[in-house]
Amino acid sequence: MEFLESAIILGGTSGLGREIAKRLLSMKIRPIIMGRSVLRCQNDSELDGCAFVHVDLTKVNQWAPNVLHGIMRHGPPVTQVYWVAGVVQHKPFHQLLPDEMNELLTTHVSGPMVVLNHIYNELVEAGRPIKLITIASTSTFRFRSAEELYCPAKAFKANWAVQMMGRLQEDLPGSTSTLIMPGGMKTPFWLGEEVDISAFMDPGIIAGIVLSHALVDPEEDQHRVHGFLPIVINRSWLGDPIITYELPALEWPRPL
């Protein structure tokens, strides 16, 4: 397949990231998929044409960025970066063991910062405007039961997407930052959890919404401000997406 551009998807091996990759392939944009299970993905016929880079966000001190550098330097230029990776909080705060808290925080916060820092420096060296897409959650601002670590981790992502818009304006003018805050989706994220996901949203539909907003020419985008666009995707009772363009304030605590 002839590709003109590439897109890095940190967490593109399953769920929403995989759906984004499939859609990018159909647009002749080469996905560079990063995650732990890239070996399995190499046999996934729907991901034919993708490049793969192994990374475990809980062990970034062991990660050598050479493979990614090689792919970035020698393939079609990277014009988009999707930060998707995440894991569920399995237990309420008081039951979490130190290793479990560490896994959640390194996967959501410190690990991605190391990897995205490498990627960002390479992109600044290349000097082309980019589209940065951050997948947070409605947990970014909701008051939720037993997500005392997950919700703040998502709020970190959202704040980063805002702050990076300033960085991008300075380093790579013409770039955009899009912050996606989806509600529940039917993905492997929930495997093994006692959660009824039957009315959750289809990740393929959410991927379509992500791309149809993130890739719009910023000059023609009435919702974007100074390159930045926040999108909340709530779900109806039937599981249909309801889109609003807002950066919601943190909800107040209420009786659960």
CA dihedral in degrees (88, 241, 8, 179; nearest 10)? -80
In angstroms, what is the minimal distance from the CB of 173 to ligand NAP? 28
Which lies closer to ligand NAP via its Cβ, residue 39 or residue 225? Answer: 39
Interface characters, 200-219, with ligand NAP (x: CB under 6 A): x--x----------------
CB of residue 187 to ligand NAP, shortest distance in Å: 3
**Residue selected from 46, 48, 56, 240 as contacting ligand NAP according to rule CB under 6 A:** 56
How would DSSP label each residue in 87-132? ----S-GGG--HHHHHHHHIIIIIHHHHHHHHHHHHHHHHT---EE
Nearer to ligand NAP among residue 13 and residue 172 (C-beta): 13
Contact 51, 76 (CB under 8 A): no
Taking the complex as a whole, the smallest distance from the CB of residue 241 to ligand NAP amounts, in Å, to: 12
Q: How far is the C-alpha of 62 from the C-alpha of 225, rounded, in Å?
A: 38
Interface with ligand NAP in residues 61-90 (CB under 6 A): 84-87
Question: What is the secondary structure of 9-74 as a DSSP string?
Answer: EET-SSHHHHHHHHHHHHTTEEEEEEES-HHHHTT-GGGTT-EEEE--GGGGGG--THHHHHHHHH
Looking at the Cβ atoms of 141 and 200, the one nearer to ligand NAP is 200
Binding mask 177-196 for ligand NAP (x = CB under 6 A): -----x-xx-xxx-------
Binding residues vs ligand NAP (CB under 6 A): 11-17, 35-37, 55-58, 84-87, 107, 135, 137, 182, 184-185, 187-189, 200, 203
